[in-house]
Structure 1
Amino acid sequence: MSTLPHTASTTAVASRRGETPLARTRRTRRINRLLAKEYPNARCALDHTTPLELLVATILSAQCTDVRVNQVTPALFAAYPDAASYAAADRATLEEYIRPTGFFRNKAANLIRLGAALTADHGGEVPDTMAELVALPGVGRKTANVVLGNAFGVPGFPVDTHVGRVVRRLGLTEQTDPVAVEREITAMVEKKEWTMFSHRLIFHGRSVCHARRAACGACVLVRLCPSAGTVGPMDPAAAADLVKEQA
């Protein structure tokens, strides 16, 4: 993680009020380029080897950390290797496998229904279009974007809590609805960059732009961010203590 050798105050960071759409687009793309250099290893944090595994892991990640999901899924994937096995699962047994992820009763019900839908309507395979994915039980637009971008190479921009927080702090959108955020951000970023931009924003949110106290003085985006200094310390030493390194 790079740190910036300066002690810029909030007044040194340009205000984004009155920013034109073209200027905001250019700033968004510059932010993406800087994050690409800062997080060259940004990637999907959910362990998976198949589209089905990624779909299941993403469903389990709702209200749960990716780390906890990755602790649960090896045994789960071994016990339920395909859609038909989820469709035929004993609910109580499935619940025990996924209990640590929280909301396990609802999630188990969705996985059983998901397996049945994939088996009946898609030959047991995960579909590769947004319309088909969001029609599946327990699958929303964010989950569909994760699967499209990381399992099928179809550009998608998943908006999780980290992404939403960071883009609002950066002044790239004022929207709070994830679908509206997705629409505004993807209008400014090259389509081929959608998936990776989301990953980079997630890494940045976990490493630097924390919900409670951001590491503003250690942020590579500090000169492009209208929130710099208002959500965390600008002092480099104090900020460096807040940075959480990503593997």
Structure 2
Amino acid sequence: MQLPTLPFHFSRAPKMKIMVAVKRVVDYAVKIRVKPDKTGVDMSNVKMSMNPFCEIALEEALRIRESGLASEVVAVSIGPHQCVDTLRTGLAMGADRAIHVETTSQLYPLSIAKLLQKLVELEKPGLLILGKQAIDDDCNQTGQMVAGLLKWPQGTFASKVVLDKEKQVAVVDREVDGGLETLCLDLPVVITTDLRLNQPRYATLPNIMKAKSKVIKKMTPEELNVEIKSDIEIVQVTEPPKRKAGVIVSSVDELVHKLKNEAHVI
């Protein structure tokens, strides 16, 4: 007597989603001009681009997805309408879709962190990746703040990221003053990327064309129930002092004398 065979269904755990925050900043190659009244940086007719550390964060997310450990990469940007251009760049690099929280208000790290917290609660990613800092304000605060608000573990200044989906952990090598520190962090986790993590890819022309049809969801701080308010007062913005010309010395003894009696460094 032959027993009837029963169908077996093998289910796999769903792959996680990765959210990447990207910021629109003055291009790194542009010479910054301070406003005459010293209230800020002159942004008129200045080339803008994606923050270089955000490019590294997005590249890492794309590599994780390409390795099969993630199913979707969502790029997020917060700011004025022009942030759409930055998101299109992210989509052309390979992000699956994008979210733009549009606001013309002056934004500071805590406000950004609160908005990202709400987006994480809506999207439920398993990994949030940010650049360690933006090259315009160099705050280096948003990643740490959003990790605190979410009560997630954090791996900052990451120079290497390895995910173990079976153990549900991320192993992060981070750069510290004394060298490298390795952390094993339970997922979900917030990671901020350092310069040596990877080399971001260039967007190819076919991907640039494809990016035009990818979805950019529009939202506002009001829809996310986040009040934008300033917790920082900018007193004055000035250019750094010009570096003084060097001095040629005729001997080691003269060098030591100048370092000791003029520069006072020894």
With the shorter chain as reference, the TM-score category is under 0.3
Instruction: Identify which of structures 1 and 2 has the higher relative contact order when contacts are C-alpha pairs closer than 8 Å and 6+ apart.
Output: 1
The structure with the greater share of residues assigned to helix is 1
TM-score computed with the length of structure 2 as normaliser? 0.26
The structure with the greater share of residues assigned to strand is 2
- Computing the radius of gyration from Cα coordinates, the structure with the larger value is 2
